[in-house]
Amino acid sequence: MKKGTYVLIIFLIFFFIILATIVSFIYFEFGRPPAIKARSYLEVKLSGGLQEKAAPDFLMSMFMGRKPLSMYDIWMNVQKAKVDRRIKGLILRLGYIQCDWAKINELREIILDFRKSGKKVYAVIDEAIDFDKEYYLATACDKIILHPQGLMVINGIGGYIPFIKKTLDKLGVEAEVEHVEEYKTASSMFTEEGFTPAHKEMMESIYENIFSQYIKVIAETRGKSETEIKKLIDHGYFQANKAKESGLVDELLYEDEFESFLQEEGEKIHKITYEQYSKIKPSSLGLNKGKKIALIYGIGLIHTGEGLLGQTMGSSTVARLIRRARKDKSIAAVVFRVDSPGGSSVASDIIGREVALTKKEKPVIVSMSDVAGSGGYWVSMAAHKIVAQPQTLTGSIGVVFTKFNLVKLYEKIGITGEKLTYGKRADIFSTFRRLTPEERDFIKQEILWTYEQFLIKVADGRNMKREEVDKIGKGRVWTGSQAKEQGLVDEIGGLSKAIELAKELAGIPADEEVKLVVWPKKVSFFNALIRKRLSYTNLGLNPRLEKMFSTFKVLERERTLVLMPFWIAPE
């Protein structure tokens, strides 16, 4: 065959693959709702990445037959299953879940609320290695089932927090940092070889608080004392039979045995997947109708400009959505769901301003997820009420400026530069020189001013005195339960609690259904593909290093940051 014929054949093959992928994706997302049989169990596979609100992922839909997991979709599906008479119970197939403790705690609340209907929930585990968060979730279920050959490892929380100053020294890279105040440790990994006293105090406080909550809940749900649970965690490793003998799991079953276990009086049971059930409209079950409440998502690093759905919080995007909700007279209240470690102080203030303006016209409730600290707290502080999980990481009221100079690196590899500037500080951000003492003092005064603005705005939003905010500020990160004690958070709970408060402040009866207007909406297939490509970074490094470099990429033009530490969670 001629060369042109080969090219044509290859083109046609790729064309039909892409066409099949698109058709499969459209069917998967928008196909006809399934027929659900009576006595069906909703089966949810909880493993991998867990987002707040997921953008469409056609590759996952096409090749894995799965939707990207999101907190909103799980919450809505379980709400539906709770009132759906055809659904007999839930089966949670638990694997390693990539999220932090606050999302796990909210999943527990979702499961416990579902159980109030009288329906059963079963956690099914094949193997559980480094499974503390997932086990904490499993204890919300009626029964925990482990594979007869499965290994259960629950060995506590924590690990190592890396500091790379020595590495930077060897490379000839110097981080020049100014921060307010001693607990603002976002840059410590670049400037320190280990914990400062304040950094250590803060981290120990956070993880002792999360661990004590973990122990308390497990002891209560498994009918043991906290001392007994601590001993089991110190032991750490349990083969299946030992896990059952120790009371960590209820049953050891193969899949066929589990099927028999579910059947009662010989009646056949059925299963429906999470993906299938997602096509069932809430309105068909009497849910998600009535007066409107806007549910607006603010996810990821905060920066100026437009954001990427489910990945970054662009000030233009989020401010526009909040403004839209304020001006829409059909919307009775706003729930602002925040999952962000912060970012640009300017971008945070743009969003915070819209929250404050909206507060004057209708109820605004903030619902915090895993993290809502620094800039994530800035965008939240003006709301009528702030709701957080006990393990949410929040606060971090402080400011940091970071610049890297590469003077020694350039010397090592022979790069030279000639200075050509017009303006006293034209080269202040240049990697070719260090900051002068006068410039460092200048920058310190600038970030002190930003910190002062932060304090004043928190004091105004939280009805506190500026001195009270300064005392609990200084860059310190608090857990949600600690933040409530300090007055930074109003209520402990999740999205359901936030909606409950929004209804209360809007004068909507507690037992009346509301329609959630969710923003940002789903993006189109092609837009999702383009955005995924533009936002993807892969340097072949440790995932946390990848995240760090992605952070630099997003914030490279924004120097004054209200940002939490990269490694708040030890490895």
- The pLDDT tens digits for 174-215 are 999 999 999 999 899 999 999 999 999 999 999 999 999 999
Amino acid type, 207: Y
Residue 467 makes CB contacts below 8 A (sequence gap 6+) with none
Residue 551 confidence (pLDDT)? 58
- Residues of the chain short of pLDDT 70, as ranges, are 1-12, 14-32, 55-67, 265-266, 522-559, 566-571
Q: What is the pLDDT of residue 264?
A: 74
pLDDT reported for residue 565: 77
Catalytic residue flag (residue 396): no
Could you state, in order of their start, the residue ranges of all structural domains in the chain?
35-155+236-283, 289-401+435-563
Helices (H), 236-344: 240-245, 255-262, 274-277, 315-327
Whole-number pLDDT of residue 397: 97
Separation between Cα atoms, residue 505 and residue 186, nearest integer Å: 36
Tell me the per-residue pLDDT of 122-173, one tens digit each, with 9 for 90 and over.
999 999 998 999 999 999 999 999 999 999 999 999 989 999 999 999 999 9
Largest CA distance in the chain: 86
**Amino acid identity for residue 329 in this structure:** K
d(CA 44, CA 382): 37
Looking at residue 562, its pLDDT comes to: 84
Neighbours of 381 (CB within 10 A): 23
Q: Are strands 87-98 and 120-125 parallel, antiparallel or unpaired?
A: parallel
Pairing status of strand 270-273 against strand 491-492 = unpaired
Distance CA 86, CA 372 (A): 38
Contact present, 400 and 563 (Cβ < 8 Å)? yes
CB 112 within 8 A of CB 92: no
Rounded to two decimals, what is the model's pTM? 0.90
Find out whether 101 and 212 touch, Cβ atoms under 8 Å: no
Cα separations in angstroms, 427 against 433, 436, 455 = 8, 11, 31
Catalytic residue, chosen from 374, 380, 396, 481, is 374
Distant-in-sequence contacts of 16-25, Cβ < 8 A, 24+ apart: 20/62, 21/58, 21/59, 21/62, 22/58, 22/525, 24/58, 24/61, 24/62, 25/56, 25/58, 25/61, 25/62, 25/525
What is the rounded CA–CA span in Å between residue 168 and residue 1? Answer: 57
In the chain, count H helices and then E strands.
22, 23
pLDDT of residue 56: 57
CATH class name, domain 289-401+435-563: alpha beta
CA 456 – CA 194 distance, rounded (Å): 32
For residues 342 and 568, what is the distance between their CA atoms, to the nearest angstrom? 13
Residue type, 312: T
Q: What is the pLDDT of residue 531?
A: 45
Which architecture does CATH list for 35-155+236-283?
Answer: Alpha-Beta Complex (3.90)
Q: What contacts 484, CB < 8 A, 6 or more positions away?
A: 388, 490, 491, 492
**Is there a shared CATH topology between the 35-155+236-283 domain and the 289-401+435-563 domain?**
yes
